C-alpha cells in the first residue's frame, strides 16, 4: 500500500479494460457503458472529495525544487469558488472561457470550475503571440480569460478586437485591465452545485495547430475524458498501480498534455506533478522526475531526443512512458530499453480523436517504429482514395470510426470543414500509413508531406529516423524539393549534437541513409541548422522548410 500524506491509499478508480494476456481477447471483451450523466469535474475531482478528500491531487514543483501538495478537497473547493465567480459574472452553460496559463494549480481550478458551470473550456498556449490569440478568441467568441502577469500584455493589446470578451482575470494579483483572480476566489463561496451534464454535452474546445489553413476549433464533449482511459491503462503498463505519479512536459493547453496523462490520472486518483517550464530543459526534466518520483509520463519524441543528450540518473523512477506526435524511431526505442530499462509505448491520435492506437508491452511486444494496435473501444482502418478498407501491407489514409467515444463533436463554427473531415463512417486523419497482418499500424507521412521522386512516393519519417540514428544528429527533417528530372529530390536538414563538426559529415550522412535504408531514399543534399520551425505541439513544420 502507498502511504501518502499520512494516509493509506488503497484504491483507485476501476479500470475500464480487462487485464488479460491475450490482446485480441481484451479487445473483443471491451464494451462501453456510458452513464446518463457525466461531468469531467465530477469524474476527475469532485468524486474524490467523498471517497478520499485528503488524497494528493497535484504536486506543484518550483524552479527551486520546492514543492506544494494540493489535495482533491482543496482543488475542488477552489473550483467551486471560481464557478461561483463565473456565475456572478453571468457566465454559464455554453459560454467559452479561455485559460491562458502554464502548468499550475490555477489551470486545473479553471478547468474544473468551467466544467462544473457547463461552460466550455478553451485552453490557450502561453507561447502564442497576439495574432494567434486574437484569432482563437475571436473565432470562439470567448467571454472570459484567466491568465498571468506575463501574458496579460498580449491580451491588453488585442482586447479592442474582442467584442465578446467581458472578463479577464490575472492570477498574479492586481493588474491594470484585469480582475484579481485570487481576491475574487477569497470572497466566493466554496460550495457549488455542479450543473447536470450528459456525456454528449460540450466541455472542451481545442484548436488544431493549423498545418493547413487557419486553426480549427475541435469541440469535445464531457465523454472525451472516458475516451482516453483505455489507452492510458494499457499503454502505461496497466495503469494505475500503487506508487504511480504522473508528469508530462507537454503543455496542458494541448490534448497531449491535458488528456494523454493529466486528466486521466486525476480520474483514477493518481497525483499529477505540475511545473512551469518556459523552455524545455532536459537536465531539469530528469531532476524533476527523480525528485518527485514520477513513474509515468507522456514524453514527445523531441523531448526524449534532448533528454538522451543528458546523463541519465542512476535511479530514474519511470516505470511507463508513452510518446507520440512524431515517430519515435527504432534508435530512440532501443536507447530507452538499454539505458532506461523502459519500453516506451508509442501512441497515435489527433486533436479531433485522440489515443486510438497504442502499444501494450505487458501483452504484446511493441515493434520499433510502429504506433501499435487498435486500442480496446476504438476502430481504426487504412482506406484507399475511394474510402474502402485496404488489405494489410497496403499504404493508404489512416481513418477512425466516427462513433468513437473520444471523437470530437464538430469544428467550432465551421460546418464545411466538419463535413469534409468525414467520409461515410470514417474520420479522415490526413495521415498516410499502413497496417500489417498482425494489426500493427505504421505512420508514413502527412498526405501533404509525401515526396514524389522518380515514381517513388517517399515519406520523410523513415529517413528522419535513420538520420537521428547517427551519433552526431540530434534532430532531422526531410522535405521534397523541385528536381528537373525526378520531379522532386529528397533534401534533409539536421540539428547536430554539441561539438559535432560539419566538415565531411554531409557525405557521411547521405551514405548512412543509402546503406541503412536504400539508395532511392538517400537525400540529395543535407544542410545543418541550429533549430527547426515547430508547431506549438512540438511537430516539425516541414511546410516552412519547403517555403524557406
The per-residue pLDDT for range 419-437, each reduced to its tens digit, is 999 999 999 999 999 999 9
- Dist. CA 27–CA 403, nearest whole Å: 16
Q: Note the pLDDT of residue 7.
A: 42
The predicted pLDDT at position 11 comes to 84
Name, in order, each residue with C-beta under 8 angstroms of 62's C-beta and a sequence gap of 6 or more. 68, 275
Q: Which is nearest to 412 in space by CA: 202, 129, 268, 196?
A: 202
Would you say domain 37-50+70-222 falls under CATH 3.40.50.2300?
A: no
- Could you tell me how many residues make up the chain? 548
Examine the pLDDT at 387 and tell me if it is beyond 70. yes
503-536 pLDDT per residue, tens: 999 999 999 998 877 787 899 999 999 999 987 6
Rounded CA separation 289/301 (Å): 17
Rounded CA separation 524/527 (Å): 10
Please name the helix (run of DSSP H) or strand (run of DSSP E) that holds residue 509, with its range, or none.
helix 505-516
Any idea what DSSP says for residue 372? B
- The alpha helices in 141-298, defined as continuous H runs, are 152-158, 181-186, 224-235, 255-257, 263-268, 282-292
d(CA 381, CA 396): 9
With a cut of 50, say whether residue 362 has pLDDT above it: yes
pLDDT at 316: 87
Least confident of 116-130, 293-307, 395-409, 454-468: 454-468
* Distance, CA of 65 to CA of 444 (rounded, Å): 41
Q: From CA 538, how far away is CA 321, in angstroms rounded? A: 17
Q: State the pLDDT confidence band at 112, using cuts at 50, 70 and 90.
A: very high
* Residue 212 pLDDT > 50: no
- Note the pLDDT of residue 74: 98
Classified as helix, coil or strand, 262 is helix
Mean pLDDT of 131-145: 94
Share of the chain above pLDDT 70, in %: 96
Q: What residue spans define the domains of the chain?
A: 37-50+70-222, 450-547
Query: What are the residue ranges of helices labelled H in 224-273?
Result: 224-235, 255-257, 263-268
Q: What are the phi and psi torsion angles at 23 (to 5°)?
A: -65, -45
Q: Please, which pLDDT band fits residue 544 given cuts at 50, 70 and 90? A: confident
pLDDT of residue 163: 96
320, β-bridge pairs: 296
> pLDDT category, 456, cuts 50, 70, 90?
low
Report residue 457's pLDDT band, with 50, 70 and 90 as the boundaries.
low
pLDDT at 211: 41
Is 470 within 8 Å of 300 (Cβ atoms)?
A: no
pLDDT at 290 exceeding the cut of 50: yes
Looking at residue 537, what is its pLDDT? 63
The secondary structure of residue 347, as a DSSP letter, is: E
User: For 65, left (φ over 0), alpha (ψ -120 to 50), or beta?
Assistant: left
Q: Which helix (H) or strand (E) holds 49?
A: helix 48-51
Closest residue by Cα to residue 82 from 186, 178, 165, 179: 186
Of 421, 408, 413, nearest to 202 by C-alpha is 408
Indicate whether 306 pLDDT > 50: yes
Helix (H, G, I), strand (E, B) or coil at 257: helix
Compute the CA torsion angle 538, 542, 547, 548 (nearest 10 deg).
70
Mean pLDDT, to the nearest integer, of 249-271?
A: 96
* CA–CA separation, 147 and 149 (whole Å): 7
Which helix (H) or strand (E) segment is 273 a member of? strand 272-274
Percent of the chain with pLDDT over 90: 78
Contact residues for 420 (Cβ-Cβ < 8 A; gap 6+):
none
Residue pLDDT, tens place only, 42-100: 999 999 999 999 999 999 999 999 999 999 999 999 999 999 999 999 999 999 999 99
Residue 413 phi, psi dihedral angles, 5° rounding:
50, 40
Handedness of CA 534, 540, 542, 543 (dihedral sign): negative
pLDDT band at 121 (very low <50, low <70, confident <90, very high): very high
Residues 137 and 165: beta-carbon distance below 8 Å:
yes
- C-alpha 145/C-alpha 97 separation (Å) is 6
Architecture of domain 450-547: 2-Layer Sandwich (3.30)
Query: 209 falls in which pLDDT band (50, 70, 90)?
Result: low
Angle at 464 between CA 459 and CA 467, to 5 degrees: 140
Phi and psi angles of residue 14, each rounded to the nearest 5 degrees, phi first: -70, 130
Question: pLDDT confidence of 1, banded at 50, 70, 90?
Answer: very low
User: Cβ(494)–Cβ(529) under 8 Å?
Assistant: yes
276: left (phi over 0), alpha (psi -120 to 50) or beta: beta
Strands 357-358 and 373-374: antiparallel
Mean pLDDT of the chain: 92
Cell of 339: 539505458
3-class secondary-structure state, position 269: coil
pLDDT at 465 over 90: no
Q: Which residue has the higher pLDDT, 306 or 379?
A: 379
Are 427 and 464 in contact by the 8 Å Cβ rule? The answer is no
With CA atoms as reference, report the closest residue to 97 among 159, 167, 45, 42: 167
The model carries a pTM of 0.86
CA-wise closest residue to 204 among 285, 305, 94: 94
Res 8: pLDDT: 44
Angle 269-352-226 from CA coordinates, rounded to 5°:
25
339 vs 304: CA distance, rounded Å: 12
Q: Out of 56-60, 187-191, 277-281, which region has the weakest mean confidence (pLDDT)?
A: 277-281
Is residue 153 within 8 Å of residue 117, measured between CB atoms? no
Q: How far apart are CA 348 and CA 367, in angstroms?
A: 14
Q: Do domains 37-50+70-222 and 450-547 have the same CATH topology?
A: no
Q: How far is the C-alpha of 449 from the C-alpha of 447, rounded, in Å? A: 6
Confidence band for 6, pLDDT divided at 50, 70 and 90 = very low
Place of cell 522526475: 289
Amino acid at each position: 500500500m502507498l502511504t501518502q500524506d499520512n494516509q493509506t491509499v488503497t484504491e483507485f478508480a476501476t479500470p475500464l479494460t480487462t487485464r488479460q494476456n491475450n490482446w485480441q481477447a481484451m479487445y473483443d471483451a471491451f464494451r462501453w457503458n456510458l452513464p446518463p450523466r457525466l461531468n469531467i469535474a465530477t469524474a476527475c475531482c469532485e468524486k474524490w472529495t467523498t471517497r478520499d478528500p485528503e488524497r494528493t491531487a497535484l504536486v506543484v514543483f518550483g524552479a527551486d525544487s520546492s514543492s506544494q501538495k494540493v489535495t482533491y478537497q482543496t482543488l475542488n473547493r477552489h473550483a467551486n469558488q471560481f464557478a461561483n465567480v463565473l456565475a456572478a459574472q453571468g457566465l454559464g452553460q455554453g459560454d467559452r472561457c479561455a485559460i491562458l496559463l502554464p502548468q499550475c494549480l490555477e489551470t486545473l481550478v479553471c478547468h474544473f470550475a468551467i466544467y462544473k458551470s457547463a461552460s466550455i473550456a478553451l485552453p490557450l498556449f502561453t507561447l502564442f503571440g497576439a495574432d494567434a490569440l486574437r484569432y482563437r478568441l475571436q473565432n470562439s467568441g470567448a467571454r472570459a480569460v484567466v491568465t498571468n502577469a506575463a501574458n496579460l500584455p498580449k491580451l491588453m493589446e488585442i482586447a479592442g478586437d474582442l467584442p465578446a470578451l467581458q472578463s479577464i482575470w490575472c492570477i498574479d494579483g492586481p493588474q491594470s485591465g484585469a480582475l484579481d483572480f485570487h481576491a475574487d476566489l477569497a470572497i466566493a463561496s466554496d460550495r457549488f452545485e455542479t450543473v447536470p451534464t450528459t456525456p454528449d454535452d460540450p466541455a472542451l474546445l481545442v484548436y488544431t495547430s493549423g498545418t493547413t489553413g487557419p486553426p480549427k476549433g475541435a469541440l469535445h464533449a464531457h465523454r472525451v475524458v472516458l475516451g482516453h482511459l483505455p489507452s492510458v491503462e494499457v499503454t502505461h503498463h496497466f495503469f494505475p498501480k500503487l506508487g504511480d505519479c504522473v508528469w508530462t512536459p507537454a503543455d496542458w493547453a494541448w490534448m497531449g498534455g491535458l488528456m494523454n496523462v493529466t486528466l486521466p490520472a486525476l480520474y483514477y486518483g493518481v497525483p499529477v506533478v505540475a511545473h512551469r517550464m518556459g523552455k524545455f530543459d532536459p537536465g531539469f526534466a530528469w531532476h524533476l522526475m527523480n525528485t518527485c518520483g514520477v513513474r509515468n509520463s507522456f514524453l514527445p519524441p523531441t523531448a526524449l531526443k534532448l533528454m538522451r543528450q543528458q546523463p541519465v540518473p542512476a535511479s530514474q523512477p519511470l516505470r511507463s512512458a508513452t510518446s507520440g506526435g512524431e515517430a519515435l524511431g527504432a534508435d530512440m526505442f532501443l536507447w530507452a530499453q538499454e539505458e532506461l530499462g523502459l519500453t516506451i509505448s508509442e501512441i497515435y491520435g489527433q486533436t479531433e480523436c485522440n489515443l486510438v492506437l497504442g502499444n501494450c508491452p505487458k501483452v504484446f511486444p511493441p515493434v520499433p517504429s510502429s504506433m501499435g494496435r487498435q486500442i480496446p473501444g476504438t476502430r481504426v482502418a487504412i482506406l484507399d482514395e475511394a474510402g474502402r478498407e485496404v488489405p494489410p501491407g497496403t499504404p493508404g489514409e489512416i481513418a477512425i470510426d466516427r462513433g468513437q467515444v473520444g471523437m470530437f463533436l464538430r469544428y467550432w463554427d465551421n460546418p464545411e470543414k466538419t463535413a469534409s473531415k468525414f467520409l461515410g463512417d470514417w474520420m479522415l486523419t490526413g495521415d498516410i500509413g499502413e497496417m500489417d497482418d498482425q494489426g500493427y499500424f505504421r505512420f508514413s507521412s502527412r498526405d501533404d508531406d509525401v515526396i514524389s521522386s522518380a515514381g517513388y512516393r517517399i515519406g520523410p519519417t523513415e529517413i528522419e529516423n535513420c538520420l537521428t540514428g547517427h551519433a552526431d544528429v540530434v534532430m532531422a527533417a526531410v522535405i521534397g524539393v523541385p528536381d528537373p528530372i525526378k520531379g522532386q529530390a529528397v533534401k534533409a536538414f539536421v540539428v547536430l549534437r554539441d561539438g559535432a563538426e560539419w566538415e565531411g559529415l554531409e557525405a557521411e550522412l547521405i551514405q548512412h541513409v543509402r546503406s541503412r535504408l536504400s539508395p532511392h531514399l538517400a537525400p540529395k543534399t543535407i544542410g545543418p541548422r541550429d533549430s527547426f520551425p515547430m508547431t506549438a505541439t512540438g511537430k516539425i513544420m516541414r511546410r516552412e522548410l519547403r517555403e524557406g
